[in-house]
Amino acid sequence: MIRRLRAVTSALALALATLSSSAFAGDPSAEELKSRGNQAMMELNYAEALSAYRSALAKNPSDVALHYNIGRAHQARGDYAAALDALLEFEQKAPAETKAKVPSLGQLIADVKSRVGELTVHCSTDVTSGTVLVDTTRLEGCSVAPKKVRISLASKSAVVEVRLESSAFEAPSLKVNVEGGGPPVDVALAVSPRTTAGILRVQATPAIAVISVDGSPKGNSPVELSLPPGSHVVDVHADGHESTRVPFVMEAGGKKELSLTLEKTPPITKRWWFWAGAGAAVAGIATAAVILIVQPEQESSKGTIDPGVIRAPLATF
């Protein structure tokens, strides 16, 4: 009897496992998707977790806890702007008893907000055929009317580059300091029709290196500017490093990118000319000693110096 009961139990368990596996593979429920996401988070697979949570929310929009889970998945991936949106939605929609399960919610939202920077970007003229890059965020087109953009910051304060990419227009790239959680930073791009000038972009290591173009300092890396067609020279120097000079030719309407790494300056004792100079000095001393030694001594009776009077310093060794 016991053996028969065990056999039935085993068969039932196998059937349930098969049914569950089939349902999970075919059309998983919101709870199954949520469990998938939780497991992926534990395995540090944040992209898979985010996908599972989004699918679960689409099946069950009333499960507000999924907004919190989605926010944490975005945070783990470094997308603080998206994480902030999800966490704020959770804070707005979740009932008090659900929010009570996250006692540090306010601090979490404040921490995430401190890693989100805001900018307002606009151009001196409307640009429809172009893209504005704000760090790694792309904005299609640019107009006179300001456009707000939020970006995730690697730290609570960061220098962000804003530049225009367009075949018909050009604008000098700008670097602005953005504070996480601070007021929006206004960025105005001075746009002009693209001419025959080419674009030069220079990356240098170390980042403190000063980049000069045609003898004119342009600042630290990276540097981007427009240049007329023809021959040009880039000089890069930094304290404690060997300077470098790179001549190049800019083609009309072309784009030139240079990536330069400066070598550290070796100690003076490692330089060949130090040892060559030291050798020459030693040889000179030896020669002087030989000359002093081999000079014949004059007879006192034929000398022109009064006895006991010395008109030159003595050489001693």
pLDDT digits (tens, 9 = 90+) for 140-189: 999 999 999 999 999 999 999 999 999 889 999 999 999 999 999 999 99
Q: Distance between alpha carbon 224 and the CA centroid of its chain, in Å?
A: 16
Identify the CATH assignment for 196-290 out of 2.60.40.1930, 3.30.450.20, 2.40.110.10, 2.60.40.1120.
Answer: 2.60.40.1120
- Give the integer Cα–Cα distance in Å for 213 and 202: 10
Q: Where are the domains of the chain?
A: 21-113, 116-193, 196-290
User: pLDDT digits over 80-135, tens only?
Assistant: 999 999 999 999 999 999 999 998 999 999 999 999 999 999 999 999 989 999 99
**142 token code pair:** 């640019």
Distances (CA, A) of 252 to 104, 163, 194, 218, 288: 58, 20, 11, 21, 64
3-class DSSP assignment, residue 104:
coil
Kindly report the backbone phi and psi dihedral angles of residue 94, in degrees, each rounded to the nearest multiple of 5, phi listed first.
-70, 140
State the pairing for strand pair 116-123/147-152: antiparallel
State mean pLDDT over 7-12: 35
Q: What is the rounded distance in angstroms from the CA atom of residue 275 to the CA atom of residue 280?
A: 9
Give pLDDT, residue 179. Answer: 96
- Smallest CA-to-CA distance from 54 within 43, 40, 108, 111 is with 40
- Gyration radius of the chain over CA positions: 37
pLDDT at 294: 46
Query: From CA 48, how far away is CA 77, in angstroms rounded?
Result: 11
End-to-end CA, the chain: 116
pLDDT at position 66 over 70: yes
CATH of 116-193, one of 2.40.160, 2.60.120, 2.60.40, 3.40.50: 2.60.40
105, two tokens: 């919610």
- The predicted pLDDT at position 260 comes to 94
Confirm or reject CATH 3.40.1180.10 for domain 21-113, answering yes or no. Answer: no
Structure-model confidence comparison of residues 187 and 299, the more confident one: 187
H-run or E-run covering 19 = helix 2-26
- Give the mean pLDDT of 58-78: 96
Judge whether 116-193 and 196-290 match in fold: yes
pLDDT digits (tens, 9 = 90+) for 200-212: 999 999 999 999 9
Q: At 252, is the pLDDT very low, low, confident or very high (cuts 50, 70, 90)?
A: confident
CB of 244 closer than 8 Å to CB of 262: yes
